[in-house]
Amino acid sequence: MAGSNGPRVCIVGAGCSGFTMAKRLKDAGIEYDEYEVSDDIGGNWYFNNPNGMSSCYESLHIDTSKWRLAFEDYPVPNDWPDFPHHSQILQYFHDYVDHFGLRENMVFNTAVERCDDLPDGRWNVTLSTGEQREYDAVIVANGHHWDARRPEYPGEFDGHQIHSHDYRNPFEPYDYRGKKILIVGAGNSAMDISSEVAQRPIGDRVYLSMRHGVWVLPKYIDGRPADKVSLPAWMPTKVGRAAARRKIKKSIGKMETYGLPKPDHEPLDAHPSVSGEFLTRVGCGDIVPKGALDRLDGDGVVFADGTREVIDAIIWATGYNVSFPFLPQVDLTPGDDNTFPLFKRMVKPGRETLFFLGLAQPLPTLVNLAEQQSKFVVAALQGHYAFPSADDMAATIEADEREHMGHFYDSPRHRMQVDFTTYVADLHKETQRGADRLTPMR
Q: What length does the chain have?
A: 442
Residue 442 lies in a domain: no
Distance CA 55, CA 189 (A): 9
What does the pLDDT read at residue 48?
A: 95
23 with 73, same domain? yes
Helix, strand or coil, per DSSP, at residue 126? strand
46 with 130, same domain? yes
- What proportion of the chain, given as a percentage, has pLDDT over 70? 94
What does the pLDDT read at residue 268?
A: 80
Confidence check: pLDDT of 404 > 70: yes
Domain range for 167 is 150-316
Residue 67 lies in a domain: yes
> With bands split at pLDDT 50, 70 and 90, how would you rate the model's confidence at 273?
confident
| Range 269-280 average pLDDT | 86
> With bands split at pLDDT 50, 70 and 90, how would you rate the model's confidence at 49?
very high
Domain's final residue, options 267, 294, 316: 316
> With bands split at pLDDT 50, 70 and 90, how would you rate the model's confidence at 239?
confident
What does the pLDDT read at residue 338?
A: 82
Where is pLDDT greater, at 116 or 217?
Answer: 116
Confidence check: pLDDT of 333 > 80: yes
Confidence check: pLDDT of 327 > 50: yes
| Range 51-69 average pLDDT | 91
Q: For 175-198, give one letter per residue: b (16+ CB within 10 A) or e.
A: ebeebbbbbbbbbbbbbbbbbbbb
Structure confidence by residue, pLDDT tens digits, 91-145 = 999 999 999 999 999 999 999 999 999 999 999 999 999 999 999 999 999 988 8
> With bands split at pLDDT 50, 70 and 90, how would you rate the model's confidence at 234?
low
Lowest mean pLDDT among 1-5, 345-349, 425-429: 1-5
Residue 1 lies in a domain: no
Domain count, the chain: 2
Q: What angle do CA 190, 220, 148 make, to 5 degrees?
A: 20
Residue 220 lies in a domain: yes
DSSP letter at 292 equals -
Structure confidence by residue, pLDDT tens digits, 20-34 = 999 999 999 999 999
Residue 3 lies in a domain: no
Confidence check: pLDDT of 372 > 50: yes
156 with 286, same domain? yes
What does the pLDDT read at residue 114?
A: 98
pTM: 0.91
CATH number reported for the structural domain that contains residue 402 in this entry: 3.50.50.60
What does the pLDDT read at residue 413?
A: 56
Distance CA 305, CA 25 (A): 55
Of 406, 371, 430, the residue nearest 75 (C-alpha):
371
200 with 62, same domain? no
For residue 120, give the amino acid letter. D
Distance CA 51, CA 132 (A): 22
Residue 165 lies in a domain: yes
Confidence check: pLDDT of 407 > 60: no
334 with 309, same domain? no
With contact defined as beta carbons under 8 Å apart, do 299 and 158 qualify? yes
What does the pLDDT read at residue 149?
A: 93
> With bands split at pLDDT 50, 70 and 90, how would you rate the model's confidence at 319?
very high
Residue 427 lies in a domain: yes
What does the pLDDT read at residue 194?
A: 97
| Range 272-293 average pLDDT | 93
12 with 47, same domain? yes
> With bands split at pLDDT 50, 70 and 90, how would you rate the model's confidence at 270?
confident
Q: Which H or E run contains 239?
A: helix 237-252
What does the pLDDT read at residue 229?
A: 64
What does the pLDDT read at residue 183?
A: 98
15 with 34, same domain? yes
Confidence check: pLDDT of 236 > 80: no
Domain's final residue, options 255, 290, 316: 316
Of 140, 147, 146, the residue nearest 17 (C-alpha):
140
Q: Tell me phi and psi for residue 10, to 5 degrees.
A: -110, 130
What does the pLDDT read at residue 1?
A: 45
Domain's final residue, options 256, 286, 316: 316
Where is pLDDT greater, at 251 or 40?
Answer: 40
> With bands split at pLDDT 50, 70 and 90, how would you rate the model's confidence at 411?
low
- What proportion of the chain, given as a percentage, has pLDDT over 90? 71
Confidence check: pLDDT of 374 > 80: yes
| Range 75-89 average pLDDT | 94
Is the bond preceding residue 218 a cis peptide, omega within 30 degrees? Answer: no
Confidence check: pLDDT of 261 > 60: yes
140 with 12, same domain? yes
140 with 161, same domain? no
335 with 209, same domain? no
Where is pLDDT greater, at 364 or 53?
Answer: 53
50 with 141, same domain? yes
Residue 64 lies in a domain: yes
155 with 274, same domain? yes
What does the pLDDT read at residue 307?
A: 98
Distance CA 108, CA 189 (A): 29
CA distances 289 to 148, 333, 384, 413, Å, are: 23, 36, 54, 21
What does the pLDDT read at residue 405?
A: 63
What does the pLDDT read at residue 108?
A: 98
Q: Where are the beta strands (DSSP E) in 174-330?
A: 180-184, 205-209, 216-217, 220-221, 224-225, 273-274, 287-290, 293-297, 300-303, 308-310, 313-316, 320-321
